[in-house]
Structure 1
Amino acid sequence: MKNNYIKYKALMFSAMVFLAFGCKKTLDINVSPNNPLIETTTPEVLFPSAVASTAGRVGGDLTILGGIWSQYYTQANASNQYKTIDSYALTRNDFNGSYNELFSGALADYQLAINLAKAKSDWRYNLMATVMKAYTYQVLVDLYDKVPYTEALKGVDNLQPKFDDGYTIYVGLLAEINDALAKDYTSVALSSDQKKTDFLFGGDMSLWTKFANTLKLKMYLRMVNAKPAEAQAGITKLYTDGANFLTTNAGFATFEGTPDNSNPFYEYNIRRLNTTTNLRASKTFTSWLTTNNDPRVNYYFGTSNPTPMNQGDYTATATQQPTYASATVFAQTAKDPVWFISAAESYLMQAEALERYYGGTGAQAMYQNGVRAAFTQVGLATTSVPAAYLVYTGTFDQKLEKIIVQKWASFAGSHSLEGFFEQERTGYPKTSAVYSTDASYIPGQWVYSKNGVTSGLFPKRLVFPASSRDRNSNTPAEVPITTKVWWGK
């Protein structure tokens, strides 16, 4: 059964390629039965294809971006692959592939799956595709601030969709999730074949309900700075309605480990580049782990005593930094999972919500559950959690810092993008007034890249890609990557 499941996933990756690039052949007289017309497709084909597309980008090149900007790892000084990321020198020519694939691949497939599911009142696939559409859109909004939404995904009916502001998109997505949750999606179970199309939960709609609620909680928390009243109202309604949240990881967890069916971070960074040494341990992260005697350092770096590089110090010579040549690489395997929302993240979000709106009642238990789940996530026993991590006292800001820093420590790997987003939202981990070579440097505080080109300002977004600017006249004027997105602190 497991082998069939993995083979099915491989077929869905192939389907993803076809659906993203092959629809222009739908007018061919001779149509291969292996490449059916888009008009005859079904949610069963579209949904797993779209999930693979989302996982491939969020867990691939965007994980490289998020991991460098979250200071888990940094560009090696003996190579050039990621210098523009580590120096904050990205332009409209960077990350076009992710933007294009998430729109023309993932989101287009989700929307078509939703349309087809609604047409036959299949509320199961409607919920699944709606939640994943909202998750994928949320990532794009958090990266670009404005993207096409109300006029998007209409194909040839609108090739120049307007860009909507992030707040409008969030409100729209939350309404879409609520509408999908209001339907009767549990009366009919997925068949055994249909369950194979659900890479996240194997057709368990109760888990999709929890994923939907947890995604809503996440989006409301993102709104706390810009729309505090709406954030509070949304979160308190979740609790008043008795919403259940994730207690398990949600993501693409099973990869075969072969070319084109591997963890996408591994595929991008190691297999395609034919090297394991492009990303080296950042002192920002390793100093925090080792100072706290955190055993996860072995999981993340393969050693309890990693040799790090200072963030963005890739121009240092062997004379200036003789240890850089043997700096520890970030540990990766071809079978690592891609998490969309982890159990640890779910618990820690609940801890923050309870602190903000319920006087902290129950927050300590959720915080400690989150810390323990983060260790379980990497195969460690909960008894290995440092005792200091479980202490939960202080002011609201002190507790929030503990929550977010523990989140940051749990995101390294194919969930790295969230570390960047959460620091932008909360300011935690704190930024350092000195570089990490200074004797007064505090372990874990983020430092401005040694070769940064933004005059001391940290990046907060991506600029609109050339692929959009060249084809869509509605693309907004360029905004510096140091400008916060709509929900930023």
Structure 2
Amino acid sequence: MKRIKFILPLIAGFMLFSCSDYLDINKSPNNADGNSVTPDLSLAAAQSDSYRNLTRRMNEYGNVFMNNWGANVNSFTGGYAEEFGIFVSNNFYDDIWDGVYRGTGLYTKIINHPAQGYDNHKAIAKICKAFYFQYLVDLYGDVPYFEAHQGVNNATPKYDDDQAIYRDLVKQIDDAIQTIQNPVAGTRAVGTEDCILRGDMDGWVRFANTLKLRILLRQSELTDQDTLDYLALEFQKLEGALFVEADVLINPGYSSGSDSRQNPWMNLMVELKKNSSNQFVYRNAFNFRRASAHIAGQLNATQDGRRSRIFAPVTGSDITGVIQGDQSALNQGGTAPLAISSLGPGLVKDNSQDGYMMLRAESLLLQAEAVHKGFLTGNAQTLFNQAITASFTTFGATGSGAYITNVNTIVGKGYGAPGATLDEQLEAIFYQKDVALNGINGAEIFIEYTRARKNGNPLIDENIPMPLNSTTPTDKKPRRLMYPISEYASNSANVPVQTISDAYNTAPFWFK
């Protein structure tokens, strides 16, 4: 894989034990003795660096491909040309690969650190590494894993089978949980150097269980006997487990003090300082992104109270979207509305706002799916309704009760819709996940959409339209990203050969 210098451990060596101090330090290109930087000093750097990829490029990729975001064609030209044309290549979102591998490498350094007494720090690193490696598999399939992150000792790691990686991720999560629940004498407590759960180890167990649930459900459409036996065993272990019950946040001390201290999502959207009227000064990234006509129609049709928090209404409470690939009606012959809804106050709040690692709503929808499929016991309808309530809370929206009553009459959007088939109930879970993670974790919802397209079941494929004038080898969206050019340059002996067609016709193992 691309050779990356691990520069954050040096800066971490000068830190105190708080997350916020991490943001005060400038990155240095110099090398440092990694063994002198103990896990408590490098955890904040690893968590913050890896989250940046999740909230920016991965979020953008998924929300555009889910047809949640359109472009402000009245003020910009040429934006999202690759996305709306669906011109997939080795350069297309290649920074996701580079960024996520860098982040997982930082966790590997913590896990392999020789210092004693940092078992809980290493357990957290294992959970976080599994969190991000799942996305590497979901987006690329086979990737370097077992030989990854060895630096000069192995600069050309082999590619591993994606299903084998998935199974090892579950093993690493189980190992982390065992470490946390069976502490040995001398284990150091985790404190504020943990930017996510602030040393709440019970919270880390919940997060680990929920991540494991997500990993298992991703492959739950497979029907081969080996997978069926494996899932039955692993789900049995999760029966009675505790899952995420509150939004899992990350905040190492975000503020408007400097670009490096600002929440990375907000740093993309707004200037550090507000204007004289105490209002945000928006950057081009904010001014360019607009609601798509597709998602606007979905949210308006159900009178979803979250719509005015995810996007800003032009007038009244409904939002106005633009068709992906459309042009301005002003001078380009298109049909785009003159005013299009921007990202809303539930997403763009403050320079210091928390980031989201995992939502309570997602946790509840995962549990609802597991119950729906018979993997866990419980009440899928109750979990579904609770997920909607939790999502309303996350966005700061009101009216969840009325919405739940209404949406549960709509097939494909409400779990309890009269006459809904099992597949349509599952479609409702997928739909609510799309809304709950809209603008927060685009990669997750597009990966779930890809999983839901397996064999056209549930039948949600036609509900998300292709951009205007887009063409692909299959007339559908890709199932995966292509390996970046950096891999062919630095690891050519191992990286699989791909064609553009492969992005549409091959997929991670869980799609097969």
Provide the TM-score with structure 2 as the length reference: 0.81
Specify which of 135, 151, 154 is matched with residue 150 of structure 2: 154
Q: Check whether the contact 1:127–1:185 (CA below 8 A) recurs between aligned residues.
A: no
- Segments of 5+ residues of structure 2 without an aligned counterpart are 1-14, 272-281, 409-413
**Residue 419 (structure 1) aligned with residue 432 (structure 2):** no
Residue 140 (structure 1) shift: 1.2
- SS of the residue 1:487 aligns to: helix
Counting only pairs closer than 5 Å after superposition, residues 131-150 of structure 1 correspond to structure 2 as: 131-150=127-146
- Tell me the equivalent position of 2:234: 234
Q: Check whether the contact 1:16–1:52 (CA below 8 A) recurs between aligned residues.
A: no
Residue 325 (structure 1) shift: 4.2
**Cα 1:206/1:359, change in 2 over 3 Å:** closer
**Cα 1:57/1:290, change in 2 over 3 Å:** same
- Tell me the equivalent position of 2:288: 278
**Cα 1:458/1:184, change in 2 over 3 Å:** closer
Counting only pairs closer than 5 Å after superposition, residues 99-110 of structure 1 correspond to structure 2 as: 99-104=97-102, 106-110=103-107
Q: Check whether the contact 2:290–2:322 (CA below 8 A) recurs between aligned residues.
A: yes
Q: Check whether the contact 2:248–2:358 (CA below 8 A) recurs between aligned residues.
A: yes
Residue 90 (structure 1) shift: 2.9
- Tell me the equivalent position of 1:438: none
Residue 189 (structure 1) shift: 10
**Residue 383 (structure 1) aligned with residue 401 (structure 2):** yes
Question: Which AA in structure 2 matches 1:347?
Answer: L
Distance 1:315 1:92 in 2: 30
Distance 1:245 1:74 in 2: 34
**Per-residue CA distance 1:375-432 (angstroms, 9 max, x = gap):** 1111134435341235633332121111111111101112121110111111368133
Distance 1:39 1:123 in 2: 15
**Cα 1:487/1:75, change in 2 over 3 Å:** farther
- Tell me the equivalent position of 2:279: none
- Tell me the equivalent position of 2:218: 222
Q: Check whether the contact 1:309–1:324 (CA below 8 A) recurs between aligned residues.
A: yes
Q: 211-220 or 478-487, which moves further after superposition?
A: 478-487
- Segments of 5+ residues of structure 1 without an aligned counterpart are 27-35, 433-444
Q: 124-133 or 173-182, which moves further after superposition?
A: 173-182
- Tell me the equivalent position of 2:495: 475
Q: 268-277 or 59-68, which moves further after superposition?
A: 268-277
- Tell me the equivalent position of 1:435: none
Q: Check whether the contact 2:327–2:336 (CA below 8 A) recurs between aligned residues.
A: no
Question: Which AA in structure 2 matches 1:487?
Answer: W
**Residue 346 (structure 1) aligned with residue 369 (structure 2):** no
Q: 249-258 or 68-77, which moves further after superposition?
A: 249-258
Question: Which AA in structure 2 matches 1:357?
Answer: G
- SS of the residue 1:148 aligns to: coil
Residue 51 (structure 1) shift: 0.8
Q: Check whether the contact 2:369–2:380 (CA below 8 A) recurs between aligned residues.
A: yes
**Residue 448 (structure 1) aligned with residue 448 (structure 2):** no
Residue 98 (structure 1) shift: 2.8
Q: Check whether the contact 1:201–1:207 (CA below 8 A) recurs between aligned residues.
A: yes
Q: Check whether the contact 1:262–1:335 (CA below 8 A) recurs between aligned residues.
A: yes
Residue 481 (structure 1) shift: 2.3
Q: Check whether the contact 2:365–2:429 (CA below 8 A) recurs between aligned residues.
A: yes
- Tell me the equivalent position of 1:262: 262
Residue 216 (structure 1) shift: 0.3
Distance 2:371 2:201 in 1: 26
Residue 255 (structure 1) shift: 3.0
Distance 1:171 1:292 in 2: 39
The aligned length equals 454
Distance 1:233 1:315 in 2: 55
Residue 360 (structure 1) shift: 6.8
- Tell me the equivalent position of 2:323: 310
- SS of the residue 1:74 aligns to: strand
Question: Which AA in structure 2 matches 1:130?
Answer: K
- Tell me the equivalent position of 1:488: 511
Q: 473-482 or 306-315, which moves further after superposition?
A: 306-315
**Per-residue CA distance 1:24-54 (angstroms, 9 max, x = gap):** x33xxxxxxxxx5323111112211111111
Distance 2:234 2:61 in 1: 31
Specify which of 407, 425, 430 is matched with residue 460 of structure 2: 430
Residue 335 (structure 1) shift: 4.4
Aligned alpha-carbon RMSD (Å): 2.8
- Tell me the equivalent position of 2:9: none
**Per-residue CA distance 1:310-351 (angstroms, 9 max, x = gap):** 123358774633544422222334445432221000011001
**Per-residue CA distance 1:270-302 (angstroms, 9 max, x = gap):** 559545321121111110110000111110112
- SS of the residue 1:339 aligns to: strand
- Tell me the equivalent position of 1:437: none
Question: Which AA in structure 2 matches 1:256?
Answer: S
Q: 161-170 or 73-82, which moves further after superposition?
A: 73-82
Q: Check whether the contact 1:75–1:83 (CA below 8 A) recurs between aligned residues.
A: no
Question: Which AA in structure 1 matches 2:372?
Answer: E
Counting only pairs closer than 5 Å after superposition, residues 1-400 of structure 1 correspond to structure 2 as: 8-13=18-23, 17-18=27-28, 22=29, 25-26=30-31, 37-77=33-73, 78-104=76-102, 106-116=103-113, 119-184=115-180, 187=183, 194-226=190-222, 227-239=227-239, 242-253=240-251, 255-257=254-256, 258-268=258-268, 274=284, 276-303=286-313, 304-314=317-327, 318=331, 320-331=333-344, 332-333=348-349, 334-357=351-374, 361-381=378-398, 382-383=400-401, 385-390=403-408, 392-393=415-416, 394-400=420-426
Q: Check whether the contact 1:232–1:357 (CA below 8 A) recurs between aligned residues.
A: no
Q: Check whether the contact 2:63–2:69 (CA below 8 A) recurs between aligned residues.
A: yes
Q: Check whether the contact 1:423–1:429 (CA below 8 A) recurs between aligned residues.
A: no
Residue 367 (structure 1) shift: 1.3
Distance 2:476 2:66 in 1: 14
- Tell me the equivalent position of 2:485: 466
Q: Check whether the contact 2:451–2:510 (CA below 8 A) recurs between aligned residues.
A: yes
Q: Check whether the contact 2:246–2:360 (CA below 8 A) recurs between aligned residues.
A: yes
- SS of the residue 1:453 aligns to: coil
Q: Check whether the contact 1:313–1:451 (CA below 8 A) recurs between aligned residues.
A: no
- SS of the residue 1:340 aligns to: strand
- SS of the residue 2:120 aligns to: helix
Question: Which AA in structure 2 matches 1:422?
Answer: E
* Aligned sequence identity (%): 25
